[in-house]
Amino acid sequence: MALEGVRAGFRNEAGIAAVLGILRQAFGERFQTGQAMREQHAHTTTYLPAQLPDGVVFVETAQEVQDVVRTCAAHKVPIIPFGTGSSLEGQVNAAAGGISIDFSRMNRVLEVNAEDLDCTVEPGVTREQLNEYLRDTGLFFPIDPGANASIGGMTATRASGTNAVRYGTMKDNVLAVTAVMANGEEIRTARRARKSSAGYDLTRLMVGAEGTLGVLTSITLRLQGIPEMIAGGVCGFATLKDAASAVITTIQMGIPVARIELLNDAQVAACNAYSGLSLAVQPTLFVEFHGTAETVRLQSEQFAEIVAENGGGAFEWSTDAAARAKLWKARHNAYYSAKALIPGMAALSTDVCVPISRFADCVAETEADIIENGFTAPIVGHAGDGNFHVLVLFDDKNPAEIARVEDFCVRLNARALAMDGTCTGEHGIGQGKQPFLIEELGASVHVMRQIKRALDPDNIMNPGKIFTLD
């Protein structure tokens, strides 16, 4: 089922040959067709088979993006935008060949408007690079998927991460984009005003479109003031349900928690081993509060009461930056810590998201499924959003094991959909989740296809992602 979007379909060999010649001439050394380079730009993070582009062009300006798009459009050759390659659902695979546009040299911060709490960046800027750049301004950009992803890629997949419970996802933090559309025209989707009712929300349409409607050339982001004080801590619970209940109460009471992450015991053990933590191996919450000295104290105390009511252990919180950094580094390395449990195995990261009232049930039923089927598959979740990841380890050379993992994913997604949830809280559909998208949204997918056909009639913009057209 996962191969729905991978069907290679038609390769336009004549067009591809023509484009290779033109780009080689135009970009010289900045256009590469070597096997290693092409492999590096095809998707290998999950068990989806890699599908190599025919060439990789390292663009440096929006004008160059426009030139590449026009060249590819003239010859009906696919375009696959590439940030850092950390997407998880085959988004950078070249299902029908074509040209990978690498944004690593298009990574300038174009403008910071500190007074307006916004900035404009090129797509290749990474989230860590941006926060490094912003440090002296007293501002930061809160969205933090585990990887040091590019802002372009994060925009394209509607990424979020641990801070989303407080600061929202990319949908909430992108004010505007510029993009080159399939007809070669560059558009700007909005001005810098905080809100607008000026026509269709093309900003939000481009956020999460996975490059299938146009190629981003700049992104205008909302920024946040660095909190005066950050407090955080850890607490363990006897059961997953107790931990999840504490999360639900926290959200329902409107405590403005900045991060609230749930790790099951398998994930805690993995983090202990990989990141040198020494936590008790039990369902555990990692929590963080942002505010002033007074408000983080108030919030931490309120939260401690909720923990106690739900049978949790002592909630010890502190404002110590080093301890906090170690904790959240371990959290961000959860994927690698899981992979390290059985070296040499492939890993699949799921990301269903359900209404918060169903979160405890969904996680508990999923853990029971994992145990019953003997998977090595820690669970870690953005609990405040009702979103969690199962990191399933398996031998991707073994068809029977792949089939078992696929069956597990079918059960997991069916469970989330039955709870009125989504198959993807933050990774996107890519190639891997296309059947689930159809189950989730039905006729809406038909509307998506109509939009795609209208804006990209030759299907050159990252074809085969989100849905297939035939």
The footprint of a second copy on residues 383-402 (CB under 8 A) is: 385-387
User: Between 340 and 414, whose beta carbon lies closer to a second copy?
Assistant: 414
Piece in contact with a second copy (CB under 8 A), picked from 46-54, 261-269, 272-280, 354-362: 354-362
One residue of 162, 422, 431, 462 binding a second copy per CB under 8 A: 422
Rounded to the nearest 10 degrees, the angle between the axes of helix 443-455 and helix 434-441 is 120
CA distances from 338 to 113, 298, 372, 430, 464 (A): 40, 35, 19, 23, 30
User: Between 68 and 255, whose beta carbon lies closer to a second copy?
Assistant: 255
Compute the least distance from the CB of residue 117 to a second copy, in Å.
7
One residue of 63, 292, 318, 398 binding a second copy per CB under 8 A: 292
Q: Which two tokens stand for residue 417?
A: 């959909």
Q: Which of residues 221-250 bind a second copy (CB under 8 A)?
A: 224-225, 227, 248
User: Between 7 and 191, whose beta carbon lies closer to a second copy?
Assistant: 191
Residues in contact with a second copy, counted by CB under 8 A, come to a total of 91
Compute the least distance from the CB of residue 127 to a second copy, in Å.
17
Ramachandran category for residue 196: left, alpha or beta (phi over 0 → left; psi -120 to 50 → alpha): beta
Q: Which two tokens stand for residue 78?
A: 């696919």
Q: Which of residues 63-122 bind a second copy (CB under 8 A)?
A: 113, 115-118
Cα separation, 87 vs 208, in Å, equals 12
One residue of 251, 266, 270, 277 binding a second copy per CB under 8 A: 251
User: Between 75 and 358, whose beta carbon lies closer to a second copy?
Assistant: 358
One residue of 25, 28, 254, 343 binding a second copy per CB under 8 A: 254
Cβ atoms of 226 and 138 closer than 8 Å: yes
Amino acid found at 97: G
User: Between 207 and 246, whose beta carbon lies closer to a second copy?
Assistant: 207
User: Between 274 and 467, whose beta carbon lies closer to a second copy?
Assistant: 467
User: Between 385 and 401, whose beta carbon lies closer to a second copy?
Assistant: 385
∠121-125-131 over CA atoms, to 5°? Answer: 90
User: Between 15 and 425, whose beta carbon lies closer to a second copy?
Assistant: 425
Q: Is 348 in the site for a second copy (CB under 8 A)?
A: no
Rg of the Cα atoms in the chain? 22
One residue of 448, 460, 461, 462 binding a second copy per CB under 8 A: 448
- Residue entry with tokens 């004549």: 14
Cα separation, 275 vs 331, in Å, equals 9
One residue of 137, 239, 441, 468 binding a second copy per CB under 8 A: 441
Instruction: Identify the three-state secondary structure at position 175.
Output: strand
Count of beta carbons in the 10 Å neighbourhood of residue 209: 25
Compute the least distance from the CB of residue 254 to a second copy, in Å.
4
One residue of 22, 99, 392, 466 binding a second copy per CB under 8 A: 466
Compute the least distance from the CB of residue 283 to a second copy, in Å.
20
* Secondary structure element (H or E) that encloses residue 254, with its range: none
Closest by CA to 427, choosing from 271, 212, 210, is 210
Q: What share of the chain is helix, strand, coil (3-state, %, to 5)?
A: 40, 20, 40
Cα separation, 425 vs 448, in Å, equals 18
One residue of 59, 263, 354, 405 binding a second copy per CB under 8 A: 354
- Residue entry with tokens 């501002």: 139
Q: Which of residues 164-223 bind a second copy (CB under 8 A)?
A: 164, 168-169, 171-172, 181, 185-202, 204-205, 207-209, 213
Q: Is 423 in the site for a second copy (CB under 8 A)?
A: yes
DSSP state letter for 424: B
Cα separation, 306 vs 253, in Å, equals 10
Instruction: Identify the three-state secondary structure at position 31.
Output: strand
One residue of 429, 431, 460, 463 binding a second copy per CB under 8 A: 429
Compute the least distance from the CB of residue 78 to a second copy, in Å.
19
Q: Is 298 in the site for a second copy (CB under 8 A)?
A: yes
Q: Which two tokens stand for residue 121?
A: 């960046």
Cα separation, 94 vs 241, in Å, equals 42
Compute the least distance from the CB of residue 53 to a second copy, in Å.
23
Q: Which of residues 121-150 bind a second copy (CB under 8 A)?
A: none
